[in-house]
Amino acid sequence: MSDEQPLTVRREGPVVRAVLNRPHRRNAMSAAMMEAMDALLGELEADRAARVLVLEGAGGHFCAGLDLGEVAQTPGDEAAKLSAQVARNAATGARFARIAALPQVVVARVQGGAFAGGLGFVCAADVALCDNTARFSAPEVRRGLVAAQILPWVVRRTGRAAAQRMVLQANVLDAAAAARIGLVHEALPDAAALDAAVAALVADLLRGAPGAVAETKALLAALGPVAPEGYAAAGADAFARCAVGEAKEGIAAFQEKRPPAWEAAPP
């Protein structure tokens, strides 16, 4: 399968639709996809004609998170790998912050899996809607990694108690469970209902004055930072240490479809 266009973008008047487009990898976040995403964010930050961004995934998937194949294949010696992982994770955190800070209203339209970094996209969006196929998880600890940069956004969306359970238990939530804890604003029964709900939401959003909407988003941000100063750097360092340590076994086990060495049999 080709990765020539890992992010497709189409403009429908004031509405921009961005589609994560690696369905053969469940839309896992490759470097090329994130480069395209960063370019789009740069355009939208200066675009006052665009008023709504709808973020979705191709092929019935939302986003499986970071492409673990790329993590495992990071070149260089241990110092170079550590530096690369720090940079990758820091960029991920900055990307979520940029999405949240856009003057446009960001809507996550979720079908299928929204795992790890994909979950971060959902929580950085202003509004998230899903259908009954949606599944949500922060599986990082099961791969020997940490949910470093998604954690503040999950906490902001669901509250600390629910987020704490998600990132430590690393289980999968279905659409109904996600709605119950506020991870998504609404869970629809099927794709047709999801499309209708997104269309109605977008129509409502376009009734708001664009300047007032942007100012309201800025005031929401002014209520307090999503994480304390220094958290992003500490998270990037923690992710990098795990990525060059336990994640070697965790990613190998995931790719080989076997339990990792640390997994104990349940009592």
Question: At a CB cut-off of 8 Å and minimum separation 6, what does 249 contact?
Answer: 144, 260, 261, 262
Answer yes or no: are the C-beta atoms of 102 and 41 closer than 8 Å. yes
Whole-angstrom CA distances from 143 to 10, 250, 262 are 35, 4, 11
Question: At a CB cut-off of 8 Å and minimum separation 6, what does 230 contact?
Answer: none
How far apart, in Å, do the first and last CA atoms of the chain sit? 43
Q: Which helix (H) or strand (E) holds 81?
A: helix 78-101
Q: Which residues are catalytic?
A: 140
Q: Look up residue 244 and give its two tokens.
A: 């060059």
- Measure the CA–CA gap between 34 and 6, rounded to whole angstroms: 9
- Measure the CA–CA gap between 66 and 235, rounded to whole angstroms: 15
Answer yes or no: are the C-beta atoms of 82 and 244 closer than 8 Å. yes
Backbone φ/ψ region at 132: left (φ over 0), alpha (ψ -120 to 50), beta: alpha
Q: Which helix (H) or strand (E) holds 180?
A: helix 175-180
What one-character-per-residue DSSP string does 94-125 give? HHHHHHHH-SSEEEEEE-SEEETHHHHHHHHS
